[in-house]
């Protein structure tokens, strides 16, 4: 499938809050993303500590599933119980974001309850699909931009303290890491073992500095840092030092490749893609 596409050209135009783009040699697709209402911001971190909007969405998904499954099982009481909860959280959307009042269809909840009372599972399920469609329509238009705006990290506010006590930006740390990686590879290629050893030591220090910043977002959860910068990474760095000292250039280059994949790529694939999207969609003025 991918090989059949001769050329992919992604063009993003940011004008008046509307993004249009994605064209290929075989087809042309346009996607428009609207800026979400400003009132939505109050329901996301850091404005809201409890992530009320997200939890409301999770509840709606659970409630719709519960209504469907209980109706299919013929449990009328449970079905009506979950419909009441669905009614509360579905209508809460308009309370939290008044601009989206027209996006929801409260009458569908009334019909859902009516069909549940009658035991008409067929019409209940059709009505439930209509309710889900109102959710999907909104998600199609707003969800990508909302995710980039409110659920992506903003690294400009993160400051890192180096091993020497100096404070520098996240961007500076990334630049230093890139230079250390390339300096090591260049030194290995040129046969400058001393420089390679020195630069890998520097790389280890820079990664430890980077690791100290993880708690800024992950708080008391040590697993994200352990997964990328934990014992396995420290062992690879120690092994790299040993291989370089022994003059085993090919083995050292292979280890550098492993570190690039398990540290750099793993972290970038998790954090950088969405962060870059945010920076394109919301350029700093």
10 pLDDT higher than 50: no
**Nearest alpha-carbon partner for 184 in 112, 116, 114, 241:** 241
Predicted confidence band of residue 11 (pLDDT cuts 50, 70, 90): very low
37 pLDDT higher than 70: yes
Distance CA 274, CA 148 (A): 6
- Calculate Rg over the CA atoms of the chain: 26
Across 50-70, average pLDDT: 95
Distance CA 179, CA 185 (A): 10
pLDDT tens-digit readout, 63-82: 999 999 999 999 999 999 99
13's enclosing H/E stretch is: strand 13-15
- Give the model's pLDDT for residue 219: 80
- Give the model's pLDDT for residue 28: 56
pLDDT tens-digit readout, 176-219: 999 999 999 999 999 999 999 999 999 999 998 888 888 777 88
Max alpha carbon distance in the chain (Å)?
82
Distance CA 110, CA 94 (A): 16
Predicted confidence band of residue 31 (pLDDT cuts 50, 70, 90): low
Cβ neighbour number for residue 46 with a 10 Å cutoff:
8
- Per residue in 175-185, is it b (16+ CB within 10 Å) or e — as a string? ebbeebbebbb
Q: Which residues contact 112 (CB under 8 A, 6 or more apart)?
A: 67, 83, 86, 124, 127, 128, 131
19 pLDDT higher than 50: no
Contact (CB, 8 A) for 236 and 262: yes
Predicted confidence band of residue 165 (pLDDT cuts 50, 70, 90): confident
Distance CA 86, CA 67 (A): 9
Which residues are 169's β-sheet partners? 159
Within 13 A of 134's CA, how many CA atoms are on the CB side? 22
Distance CA 101, CA 94 (A): 5
Long-range contacts of 124-127 (CB under 8 A, 24+ apart): 124/67, 124/71, 124/79, 125/68, 125/71, 125/72
């Amino acid at each position: 499938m991918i090989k059949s596409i001769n050329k992919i050209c992604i063009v993003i135009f940011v004008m008046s809050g509307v993004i249009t783009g994605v064209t290929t040699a075989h087809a042309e697709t346009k996607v428009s993303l609207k800026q979400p209402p400003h009132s939505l911001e109050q329901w996301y971190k850091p404005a809201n500590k409890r992530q009320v909007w997200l939890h409301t969405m999770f509840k709606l998904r659970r409630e719709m599933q519960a209504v469907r499954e209980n109706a299919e099982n013929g449990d009328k009481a449970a079905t009506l119980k979950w419909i009441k909860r669905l009614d509360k959280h579905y209508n809460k959307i308009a309370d939290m974001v008044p601009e989206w009042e027209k996006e929801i269809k409260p009458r569908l909840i009334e019909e859902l309850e009516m069909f549940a009372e009658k035991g008409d599972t067929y019409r209940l399920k059709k009505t439930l699909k209509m309710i889900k469609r109102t959710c999907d329509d909104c998600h199609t238009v707003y969800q990508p931009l909302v995710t980039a705006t409110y659920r992506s990290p903003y690294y400009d506010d993160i400051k890192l303290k180096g091993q020497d006590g100096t404070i520098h930006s996240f961007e500076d740390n990334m630049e230093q890491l890139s230079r250390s990686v390339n300096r090591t590879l260049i030194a290995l290629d040129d046969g400058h073992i001393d420089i390679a050893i020195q630069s890998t030591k520097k790389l280890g220090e820079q990664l430890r500095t980077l690791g100290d910043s993880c708690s800024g977002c992950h708080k008391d959860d040590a697993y994200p840092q352990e997964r990328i910068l934990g014992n396995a990474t420290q062992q690879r760095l120690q092994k790299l030092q040993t291989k370089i000292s022994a003059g085993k250039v090919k083995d050292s280059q292979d280890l550098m490749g492993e570190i690039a994949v398990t540290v750099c790529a793993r972290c970038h694939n998790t954090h950088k893609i969405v962060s870059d999207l945010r920076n394109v969609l919301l350029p700093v003025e």
